[in-house]
Structures are given as structure tokens and as C-alpha cells.
Structure 1
């Protein structure tokens, strides 16, 4: 929508429906003549180095899509007034959600278009099975030994060539994996990063006070308790930048810890809250 010509007198959904229909018609027609066009182009460019017909269907369809988009851009780059409003991004997000909710282009229909394109442009049948059978029985027999099969991971709808199974399995987001950090939990590959970064209690973290330590996330409180004096010294050096010797600050750190009857110092898990607690305790010590 953003890079194609819209109509200020039509709704975005109407424009999108027309664009989808035009796009499918265009790329389907291009795919119908792809083999003949590829042979002609190959013969014409056989003496030109570096000019090759794309072997990967993804690259071929990408060319079709780019060509289609170029036919929808007019000279002055006019887009619909809907896209030029101040709340453009919000309206685009709302529009995308509306299309998903109303099943603007269901997965089944997209798969049907993809299958047709693949059959039309996959010259060497590396990415689809060309076999056809007249009855279901023979078809079922073939499926058991077909080189193209559905991914075995629950939730994945991919159909993969047997020779590409290992590559797909190594990247499939629906693959169940053991936690990379050794935690006793199995989860989908797509959830692994979030698990290790935000959920996993054994994820390694660095000391928030800047000392040269790293430890599991779950041990942060214990670390802050065990290394309270070094952390206090770091904070005191920041608060009292001048006029205090190293030994004076060490003595002050010990006094603060003794004066802290509620244990607030050890409960501060970052430099800012610890600084606030220290300032509060110093004020009370002076006032007392």
C-alpha cells in the first residue's frame, strides 16, 4: 500500500483487495510463460557473462513482485490521502489487524497460489513433486516414499524435500529443543531466545554494580549480600568524590552496614537504589 498508487476516494481495504487480485493475476501470468521466457533469455545471454536465470523459485517470484510493484507506482509517487495523515502508522497497524481478523488472505489460499507458482517456475522439480496419479490408492502409496514430505514438527506446515530435511530441521521454529542453558525444560526453537534472556533462572548476568563478576540470575541477591562492602565502596566513591581517603570510605562502609538494622543495603540490587539507601543512612547517622 505504501509504495503503490491508491485512490483517495476509496477505502484502504478496497484498494488492498484489488491489489491482491491484480498481484495474483500478474505473477500467475508471468509464471505461466516463465519456462519459455527463461529459455529465450538464456539463449540470448549465453555469451554475456554473469547473466543467469534464477534457480531458486523465491528469487524468481521476488522478481515478479518487484515488477508488479513498479507497474503500480505512478510518475509523481502519489499515494492515497489515507496514507498521508498524521496518524498514518497507527492506521496502517489498525488496517493490518483488520485484515488478519477478517481473513483478508487465508493461509490456505496463499498456499494454493504458492503451489501453482512453484509448479510453473520450478524447472528442475527440485522444490516440488511432479508425480500425478489417477486414483487415491496409488497416490497414498506414493506419499509414503515421496521425496517431498510435511515437516514432522507439530505446528509446522512446511513441505520439504528429503534432501533438505536436515537443513529445514536445523532452522524450523517449531522444533522442540532442550534448553540451551541446561535447564530441565523443552521448548520451541522460536521461544528459545526469549526463554534464555527473560525467563531462564540460570541465565548468566553481570554484576549491576560493575564489579568483575558474572553469575546466574537467580543468585543476584546472594551476590549483593556477599559483596556488599565492595559495592558500598563503589557507591561511596561516587557520592564522596573528593575529601575522603580510601581507608575513610572503607571505615564509613563498615559503619553504614552496622547502622543498617533493617538490612536495606543488602536488599538494594542496583547502584541507584543502593545510593539512595546510603544517602538516607548517612543523613540519619548525622542527625542521630
Structure 2
């Protein structure tokens, strides 16, 4: 604003600032909040594992039918895909809520709340936007050849460490927090003091833990500690068949079906009549305890066309009463017991009486 001043007969112009409004009492800015934002490690890794195939699909579809390979566009496509996913994930919650409000059909398809499924859909949108004309008008998208080329390019990127897993997991964490509107896969807690945040992080269910089992390098969220402990292949466990040995979970099956002394086995005389099954370490005890049954089976095989059932029972009784009983009880299979029986019978033939159903031992 300008006004006139006629001091000393001279006219001049001066300026006058308008008065500023009263700001009132000073208002302090709210204190900054300290966010936890720790994420579910398993889901982060799952999303990170999807990024390479998503990028590979975009690169392959963009170069199909051209005189260049997918590697020629991988470098510029990678940051472009990250920017695309970040921007889409930031608006995903608002878009999803709007879609659900507009859906009038209660039978409409339910939208997945799994962050990995959501990110997979967003990557598919990005790949679709990069398809060239040939990819769009041909049957390429549904062909097995396309899947093979995508898989091959994923292997090439991993072999050359084009996009290391730690960098992909950093991207995956951001995407997870953006789309996890139910806070089921990351911690939404906020604190007014850094000390409160630090104390919370030590107890947060999403804090990262490492397996304590030797040779296991797995990392997981604390909430999954019990689940990992139930599945860890390196955890030392007592033998499932209750032998004295303890071994890693991943070696348990092989141990139980090969070298475990408590492995169940069929009786060596199974094929000629004994249907017993027992731990293999008790084989000697079984053969000693069931000598009568085994002798009966062997004698029937040797003399099935010579003796009646009654005569076979008498022969078995004589064999049990012979001086070679201990030798017979030590036979652990059909062949060795058959040899022992024939040897003992040869000694008994000298005292054959009558019809040969009664024998005396030499």
C-alpha cells in the first residue's frame, strides 16, 4: 500500500506493510512416531522369490520374435518394474476398498489378502504392459516354449547374480507393508520414544530369529519359531524306532529303513510258514524262542512226501531233545537250519527202528 508524504513541501511515497494476523499461542509440532515395521520373514522371502520370474516374463515377452534376447532389456526393465510395483502397491489398499464397496454381488470373487498373491498379480500387470505385438496376437503366452524360456532366463539371472536375494527382499519388504492392509504380515506398532521401540523390537512377533540347530542357516520371524522347530531338517532327534541313536531329522527315514537295529523285519522262515515280524536286533532271541515252530516248518519241507503230520511232530521232538539243540537254535535262516537238521538226521539213522519214526541219538 502506498501513501503520500508532503514533508518540507516535497511529495514522496512510502510503503506500509499490512499488519500480520495474530498467530495466537505457539503450537508445537507433534512428536515424531517411531514405527516398528518388522515384516514376516517367510512372506518377504516368498515375494522376493517371485520378482525374478516376474522380470523374466516381462523381458521374454518383450523380445519374442525379435533379433535380441531378454537380457538386452533386463537392465532398464528392473528399476522400471520396481517403480511400477511400488506405485501400484501404494494405491492398492484404496483401490481394493473401493472395489469391495462397489461390488453388489455377494458371490463375487473374494480378493486375496495374501501379499504374495497381490504382488504376483501386480507383476502380471507389468509383464502384460511390456508384451510386444507378436506376443499379444499369437498363442505365445499359453505355449510351453514360453514357460521354458522364462525358466531359462531366471536361471541365467540367478547364475550371474543379476538381482541378489538380499536386494529383492528389501524391495519385497516395502511391497508387503504397502499391501498388507490387515497388518497380518507386518507389525504396525508405533511409539513416541525410541527406547519404547527398542524394547518392543526385542519382543515383537515379527523379529528375525536364526535357527539354533547346528548347520541350519534358516532365518524366520519369531512367530514361526515353533513351526520351524517342528520342521527343521537339522534338528537332532531320538530315533523314531527307539534305538539308542540320535540323529538329524533329515537322516531319520534313511536310518529307520536301513541300519536301525530296531527296524522291523519278517522272520527269515516267513516263506515256509513263520509269519512273525520283529525288530531285527532280536532275531537271535526269536529264533531261539521259536525253534520248535521253525523245526516243524523245515522238517515238513524236507520230508513232505515221506512222513505224516504225526511222524513230523515226532521227528521235531527228537531233534529238540538231541545234543545239537544249541546248534539248531543258532540257525538264523532256512538254509542254515536245513543243513543242521540234515546233519543231525544223518547221525540218527543208525538207530532207525521199525518204520523210521523213532530215532536214537548217537
What range is the shorter-chain TM-score in?
Answer: 0.5 to 0.7
Say whether residues 1:56 and 2:122 are aligned partners: no
Does structure 2 conserve the Cα–Cα contact (< 8 Å) formed by 1:156 and 1:174? no
CA–CA distance in structure 2, aligned partners of residues 9 and 263 of structure 1: 82
Quote the residue 1:87 is aligned against. none
Give the unaligned 5+ runs of structure 1. Answer: 84-91, 269-273
Match of 1:159 among 220, 225, 228: 220
Say whether residues 1:126 and 2:189 are aligned partners: no
Does the C-alpha gap of structure 1 residues 264 and 126 become closer, same or farther in structure 2, counting only changes over 3 Å?
A: same
- 1:191-270 equivalences in 2 (<5 Å): 191-207=251-267, 209-210=269-270, 211-231=274-294, 233-234=296-297, 245-247=308-310, 251=315, 266-268=331-333
Does the C-alpha gap of structure 1 residues 40 and 221 become closer, same or farther in structure 2, counting only changes over 3 Å?
A: farther
Give the unaligned 5+ runs of structure 2. Answer: 1-52, 347-362
Deviation string, structure 1 residues 154-210 (Cα, Å, up to 9, x no partner): 225332254x54445444445444444444555444444444444433344443544
Secondary structure in structure 2 of the residue aligned to 1:49: coil
Length-normalised TM-score, structure 2: 0.46
- Bigger shift: residues 244-253 or 205-214: 244-253
Aligned length: 258
Does structure 2 conserve the Cα–Cα contact (< 8 Å) formed by 1:42 and 1:52? no
CA–CA distance in structure 2, aligned partners of residues 221 and 193 of structure 1: 25
Does structure 2 conserve the Cα–Cα contact (< 8 Å) formed by 1:150 and 1:157? no
Does the C-alpha gap of structure 1 residues 258 and 100 become closer, same or farther in structure 2, counting only changes over 3 Å?
A: farther
Deviation string, structure 1 residues 19-54 (Cα, Å, up to 9, x no partner): xx88x9499467565434432442343532363222
Length-normalised TM-score, structure 1: 0.55
CA–CA distance in structure 2, aligned partners of residues 126 and 116 of structure 1: 15
Q: Shift in Å at residue 74 of structure 1?
A: 1.9
Does structure 1 conserve the Cα–Cα contact (< 8 Å) formed by 2:288 and 2:329? no
CA–CA distance in structure 2, aligned partners of residues 215 and 139 of structure 1: 59
Does structure 2 conserve the Cα–Cα contact (< 8 Å) formed by 1:265 and 1:278? no
Deviation string, structure 1 residues 70-112 (Cα, Å, up to 9, x no partner): 99972672528x99xxxxxxxx9xx98x998876876545644
- Bigger shift: residues 60-69 or 27-36: 60-69
Higher relative contact order (CA 8 A, sep 6+): 2
Q: Which has the larger radius of gyration?
A: 2
Give the alignment's Cα RMSD to 1 decimal: 5.8
CA–CA distance in structure 1, aligned partners of residues 287 and 85 of structure 2: 64
